[in-house]
């Protein structure tokens, strides 16, 4: 008996439903496969950082599997169509009886799997819902439809979660002698990109970070999570994005450290669970509304907004040269590390859309090209929330003031000074408006003046949204 386990964004041996099922029969020969699809990744705008991180984790996975006696074969095919065909051919070649995988929920991924199931003939397909705490389409309102407002979704979600067996699975038993691996070549060709040392590859690193966060920092999460100069959040998103860590592992570790968490909605632990549920909400939405995978807004009238197409404005935002320190520091953090604090993601997204009136899809795409933790669901969800085009989004007339956001969340400018050393001598009081200080003291700053007047930009945006609504 031969079982193939097809790894995707679930690069772990612990708590992996497809892998565990493939290993249930101790007699079965188990072969792990992974398909690298560079053209598909390019079409999806995946960042080279994430591809490097994925590769690093695949190398770790190969070693962990080898310890269990399971070989990992990596095949490069241009796109999903080629990958699915190769999997079927390889299964035939190996006389495999069954193929195991965990489902992915984005449109192209689903189409690939549907096609494969149709073509599989005598090959038994075992597909699992493993990437979420609760599978898409299982948390519905009384009409049996997906919620379009987050809070009732969360309420229903928690009720269902408490009635569900969410225990994490242990890694499968060894199936023979450990295999020797000669790692002389990369598992697939890619442009290796620097990854911040904070994101060390491998399950052990991820689990260690999770444990530490749940033990030491989650209690203060509610207090610290909006302050970008503090390590107040878990920074686990890159691991969740490529599946080195599962959401069940997160939930179980959180509960182990905070057994009463569901009874204290004001606690740090509950607030963190809430963020994990936002991750679920956005993924459930992709399945319920596939148009979200097709560059379309959820709120249709927003298609009629006339956006500003200025490449110079877009470049200034991308390069952290807007003259608004909190925006620029955030963009430099993104460009340098591939990760950005959540509060800052909201601030820079709002600035691009509502101060510069640039189409949110351009920002979404640019984020994807830089993020180590990029996922279609959360990135699209975050952008559509910020742009007021999405499900349960921020109302369109609510516009962040980038100066007061900075004053509120980085009052002393600690974060700003870290990323904008050209402002290191500006006193705290002026750190959010450095040119006022420079002008008063006849100092030349090597930093741009604000590229737009926020008050005026706000009025222009309100007008553009109103016109879009009128013209729909
Ligand atoms: P924590 O605060 O520790 O949260 C724990 C986990 O919950 C995160 O790792 C993440 O998996 C999940 N999570 C937290 N907040 C959200 C949220 N608002 N929506 C969905 N899931 C969430 N998150 C991504 O994982 N990938 C993205 O591509 C992405 N793009 C975003 C774009 C914009 C414009 C915005 C506003 C948010 C985006 N987010 C994205 C959500 C959020 O900013 C990140 O998940 C978070 O900053 C990651 O840091 P952390 O792991 O320390 O989060």
Confidence (pTM): 0.97
Atom 4 of ligand 1, nearest CA residue: 275
CA distance 325 to 433: 8
The ligand 1 atom at the shortest distance from the C-alpha of residue 213 is 3
CA distance 209 to 47: 23
H-assigned helices in 76-225: 80-93, 107-119, 150-162, 203-212, 221-224
- If phi over 0 gives left and psi between -120 and 50 gives alpha, with beta otherwise, what is residue 243? left
For 405-433, write each residue's pLDDT tens digit: 999 999 999 999 999 999 999 999 999 99
Atom 28 of ligand 1, nearest CA residue: 374
CA distance 387 to 357: 10
Mutational pocket test of ligand 1: of 373, 376, 393, the residue with most ligand atoms within 8 Å of the beta carbon: 373
Distance in Å, CA 342 to ligand 1 centroid:
6
The ipTM estimated for the assembled molecules is 0.99
Cβ neighbours of 384 (radius 10 Å): 27
From first to last of its 472 residues, the chain has per-residue pLDDT tens of 999 999 999 999 999 999 999 999 999 999 999 999 999 999 999 999 999 999 999 999 999 999 999 999 999 999 999 999 999 999 999 999 999 999 999 999 999 999 999 999 999 999 999 999 999 999 999 999 999 999 999 999 999 999 999 999 999 999 989 999 887 799 999 999 999 999 999 999 999 999 999 999 999 999 999 999 999 999 999 999 999 999 999 999 999 999 999 999 999 999 999 999 999 999 999 999 999 999 999 999 999 999 999 999 999 999 999 999 999 999 999 999 999 999 999 999 999 999 999 999 999 999 999 999 999 999 999 999 999 999 988 899 999 999 999 999 999 999 999 999 999 999 999 999 999 999 999 999 999 999 999 999 999 999 999 999 999 8
């Amino acid at each position: 008996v031969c079982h193939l386990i097809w790894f995707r964004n679930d690069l772990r041996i612990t708590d992996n439903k497809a892998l565990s099922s493939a290993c249930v029969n101790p007699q079965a020969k188990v072969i792990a496969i992974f398909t690298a699809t560079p053209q598909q990744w390019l079409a999806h705008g995946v960042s080279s950082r994430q591809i490097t991180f994925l590769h690093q984790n695949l190398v770790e996975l190969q070693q962990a599997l080898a310890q269990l006696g399971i070989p990992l074969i990596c095949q490069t095919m241009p796109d999903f169509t080629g990958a699915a065909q190769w999997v079927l051919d390889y299964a035939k070649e190996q006389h495999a009886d069954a193929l195991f995988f965990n489902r992915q929920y984005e449109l192209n991924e689903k189409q690939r799997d549907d096609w494969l199931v149709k073509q599989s003939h005598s090959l038994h397909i075992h597909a699992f819902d493993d990437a979420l705490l609760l599978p898409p389409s299982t948390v519905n309102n009384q009409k049996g439809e997906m919620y379009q407002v987050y809070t009732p979704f969360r309420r229903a979600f928690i009720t269902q979660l408490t009635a569900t067996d969410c225990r994490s699975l242990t890694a499968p038993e060894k199936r023979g002698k450990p295999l020797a691996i000669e790692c002389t070549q990369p598992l697939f060709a890619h442009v290796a990109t620097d990854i911040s040392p904070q994101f060390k590859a491998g399950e052990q690193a991820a689990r260690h970070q999770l444990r530490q966060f749940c033990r030491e920092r989650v209690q203060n999460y509610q207090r610290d999570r909006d302050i970008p100069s503090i390590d107040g959040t878990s920074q686990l998103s890159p691991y969740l994005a490529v599946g080195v860590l599962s959401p069940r592992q997160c939930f179980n570790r959180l509960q182990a450290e905070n057994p009463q968490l569901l009874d204290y909605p004001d606690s740090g632990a509950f607030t963190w669970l809430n963020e994990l549920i936002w991750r679920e909400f956005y993924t459930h939405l992709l399945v319920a509304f596939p148009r979200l995978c097709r560059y379309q807004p959820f709120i249709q009238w927003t298609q009629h907004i006339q956006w500003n197409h200025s490449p110079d404005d877009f470049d200034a935002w991308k390069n952290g040269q807007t003259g608004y320190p909190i925006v620029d520091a955030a963009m430099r953090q993104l460009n340098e590390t591939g990760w950005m604090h959540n509060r800052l993601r909201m601030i820079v997204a709002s600035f691009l859309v509502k101060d510069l009136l640039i189409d949110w899809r351009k920002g979404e795409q640019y984020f994807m090209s830089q993020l180590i933790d990029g996922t279609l669901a959360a990135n699209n969800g975050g952008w559509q929330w910020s742009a007021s085009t999405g499900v349960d989004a921020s109302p369109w007339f609510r516009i962040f003031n980038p100066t007061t956001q900075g004053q509120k969340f980085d009052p002393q400018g600690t974060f700003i000074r870290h990323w904008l050393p050209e402002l290191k001598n500006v006193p705290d009081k002026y750190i959010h408006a450095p040119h006022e200080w420079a002008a008063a003291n006849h100092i030349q700053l090597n930093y741009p003046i604000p590229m737009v007047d926020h008050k005026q930009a706000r009025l222009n945006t309100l007008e553009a949204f109103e016109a879009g609504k009128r013209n729909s």
